[in-house]
Amino acid sequence: MLINREQQRVIDEVEQNILLLASAGTGKTNTLAYRVAHLIEGGYAKAENILCMTFTNKAANEMKDRIQSLVGSPAKAVEISTFHSFCFFVLQQEGKRNETLYTDVTIFDEEDCKELSEPYRPGKLREMSFANIIGMVKEYRSLYGFYSDDLVGDYKRTIDRLQKEQRPAIEQQFSSFGNVLYSELHDFLNHGHEWIAAYDENLASVHGLDFTDLICGVHRLFQDPVVRERWSSRYSYISVDEMQDTGVLEYKVLEMLWEGNHVLLCGDYFQTIYEWRGSDPFRLLKQFDADFKPLKIIFYENYRSNWTLFTMAFKTLQNMFPDLVGSIYTELPRANSERKGKPVLIKGCKNSYLEGRYIYEAICALPKDANIGVLVRDNKKAQRLSDSFERLNNEKAEDERRHFMIIDEFKFFRRQEIKDVMAYFKLLMNPNDSVSAKRIIKRYVAGIGDARIAAIESPETRQVGLKLTDFMDMPIFEAEPYAKLVSGLENHEVVVYDVESTGTDTSQDRIIQIAAIRIDENGQVLETFERFINPGVPVGQSEEVHGFSDAYLKEHGEEPAIVLQAFKEFSKNAIIVGHNVNYDVTIFTNELARHNLGNPEFKAIYDTLDIYRRFYPNLPNHKLGFLASEFPINHEPTHNAMDDILATSQLLIYAVKENIVPTTTGRMVAINKYKAAFTNIASQMATLRRKAYTELPTQLLAYIMNQMGVLEYYKSHGEVAKVEHIRDLYRIMEKLDAAYEGPAGLARLNQILQMAALTAGEPAQQVRNEDRIPIITIHQAKGSEFDHVFLAGLNEGTFPSPFAIAEGREDEEKRLFYVAITRPKQELTITFEQTNIRGRAVQPSSLLNYMPRDPELVERRY
């Protein structure tokens, strides 16, 4: 790659913060990759101390590939991720310390979240609007800093303040065809705080987080100076791409990482197309400029498009935003290529049918291997074009047809059949995921209807400590769920334990203390185990949490294998109990594996966090410290492992005596009433769980399809196309599995689930029929490029969107148009209809008026 002057400045600058303004096609990704290579090879930073944020997973993968091609294996240590992926990583890492966040937490996309929020949605309010208002309240709770243990109160304060300061924004979500739904709005203003808190509790009960929780959760964690310092000191060089699409709360989270580090923000004012999601680039970049005094660098040279396309796009931009363009660019941008291409063609077609035919025939005139994209403003237009192309294909011989792929709002991982199959995997990783359990039951399990599910999820059943997911697991068929715990206390088999470690990554960090007590039925301590380990690695910042220094562990710590083996013997055939115990079990299991000591030999595992969430779902929170103050126990947890387990043991005894034993009969009645219907699926899930520890994800998928009745279901329902999509999933999993380098077993599967959740909002991966031509919205096309672009549906009333105009977002529609016309490298064709479906005349988009009148740049045929 030839490096120009501005790019070289970005690569070489290692001291100052940088504000980089880089428009489409200016070589930004390559430049950032070369900069990272320069930082590593020049010794300015270790790879693990470099953080690169991108807007999409596609961009993250491109960045990884380019850096790896430059520096090889060290690139793997560079943290390259989307903002949501980074937040999820932080929450997972901090799960042990944040006691109310389960360490097996999973991400629920908006489709899954509908299930959990639907009971509270006002009748006439659209699902999307309700999701938006929930997200808005959650974000503003964080922005207002309303963090207390009273979740309902926090949300009430937030909504009351929003009502005063953001009333128009709230009313916008309660609008239907231009009219405000005042009855629904009134209900929300009076009860919305209760609804959102109940929705949050539903999420917590299934060990889930929504996308807003990822940001809000990290923002809250970073309020703690110790946590914030732990993460900001982890990195020395941070770059954030597509900064113009960052929301205010996202910016505040990032800002807390920047102090003392070298920061590069990269963006383009004119590609801001997510203001409706809360991005505010002018304000945020101005704030960055004031706070960090960055070096401003502008990329002027365009490498993507030929001279004609580049000149057309820039002149259009000048016409749309003359003052802003003049204030940003101190010199005129230029095309690197002097090669001229065809003028942009704007073609008026008599009607929608002829528009589709014109585009189809123009595509057929291009070589079959041409790189083509069909761009539209909305999915409705995409669907109409797809239908037209399908009809036109039927007029041609098979070898002359062109195949298209519509990339709709739901994308690959949001297809019903993909979500249904992925539900099996999600339930494997998170046995509390009732949303996935219901998906499986409703689609593939005969004899369990909505009435039975509702009965199991009723308050009466929940009051005896049962959940739907309990019936998807074999233990409930073998004994009453708490029988082993109660008898274990009587037989003195219960061991309450906790570990302290060098960090919160269960696969990488090391245990430094194991503390455990064996107790009787009254909570009396019968036997104590407390040993320290010299981990052989520095404890780092974890010392601030547990208080044990490297020097202390060197003096008092033993060899890891000796202590681990000793605790394995101490806990053999024990009933293990802990608060958020999954972390402690997982890291202990991984440590045993690291030292070739086999697996733990526990008889059963119980979590006091889960117990108290079941029996006391409406508490403000379920942290160990809060529970210790709320219930009549006489021991205070301190984050020392021994102190924490003494408090946990007393909470356990209280719950057993007050909740578990008194509800035993009611629990058995409910189990006997419902369990027969679940026998087969529970047995299948047990087999799947066993396989998950040894088999590849693709093998698990084959078992689900062939042995658990999924393939037979789709064949019997005549839905063979859905089977093809599941085969696509198999191919994706195959590719991911080949690239995966972590530990085998469930960790491998978890990586795939994270990818599915975090890419659910991105365009589908083309895993078969790679020659299919995408029909894609402009929002989805951002970051993509094609040799030939057909931009369809440029009619007034369609593009610009009438909703955007009504909401005063006309400038955003202009920027969206600019994004569209900067996607092609060789040729651009723009089409519109002249009459609508009723035969009435319709106007071309007013956006076309901003395009230059020079016939060398734009040809108009209408």
> Is residue 267 a contact partner of residue 244, using CB atoms and an 8 Å limit?
yes
Q: How far is 628 from 478, CA to CA, in rounded Å? A: 33
Backbone angles phi, psi at 375, to 5 degrees: -110, 140
* Contact in structure between 26 and 303 (CB atoms under 8 Å): yes
Sequence letter at residue 522: N
Return the structure tokens found at 815. 């920027």
Give the residue carrying structure tokens 């990783």: 429
∠794-798-802 over CA atoms, to 5°?
Answer: 140
Annotated binding site: 22-29
Burial class (CB in 10 A: 0-12, 13-18, 19+), 846: middle
Cβ-Cβ contacts under 8 Å for 401 (sequence gap 6 or more): 393
- Coarse DSSP helix, strand, coil percentages of the chain, rounded to the nearest 5 percent: 55, 15, 30
Kindly compute the dihedral angle of the four CA atoms of residues 246, 209, 121, 180, in this order, to the nearest 10 degrees: -10
Helix, strand or coil, per DSSP, at residue 828 = strand
Helices 281-292 and 248-258, packing angle to 10 deg: 20
Cα–chain-centroid distance for residue 510?
28
Strands (E) located in 336-456? 344-349, 372-376, 404-406
* Spatial distance between the Cα atoms of 171 and 181, rounded to a whole number of angstroms: 8
The CA distances from residue 621 to 31, 115, 615, 636, in Å, are 47, 23, 13, 16
**Helix (H, G, I), strand (E, B), or coil: what is residue 825?**
strand
Sign of CA dihedral 84, 85, 86, 89: positive
| Residue 161, token pair as written in the block | 């303040």
Determine the Cα–Cα distance for residues 504 and 518; give it in Å rounded to an integer.
25
User: What span, in angstroms and rounded, lies between the C-alpha atoms of 519 and 590?
Assistant: 26
How far is Cα 394 from Cα 390, in angstroms, rounded to an integer? 7
CA dist list (Å): 428 to 350, 411, 432: 55, 24, 9
* Contact status, residue 791 vs residue 289, Cβ threshold 8 Å: no
Per-residue three-class SS string for 710-741: HHHHHHHCCCHHHHHHHHHHHHHHHHHHHHCC
Nearest CA to 411 out of 725, 4, 193 is that of 725
Judge whether 457 and 422 are in contact, CB under 8 Å. Answer: no
**551 contact partners, CB below 8 Å, separation of at least 6:** none
Residue 665's alpha-carbon distances to 457, 472, 660, 662, 862, in angstroms, are 18, 21, 10, 8, 79
Known binding positions for ATP: 22-29
Q: In this structure, what token pair is assigned to residue 818?
A: 């600019």
* Phi, psi angle pair for 577, to nearest 5°: -135, 140
CB 158 within 8 A of CB 146: yes
The total of other beta-carbon atoms located within 10 Å of residue 177's CB is 4
d(CA 496, CA 571): 10
Neighbours of 459 (CB within 10 A): 7
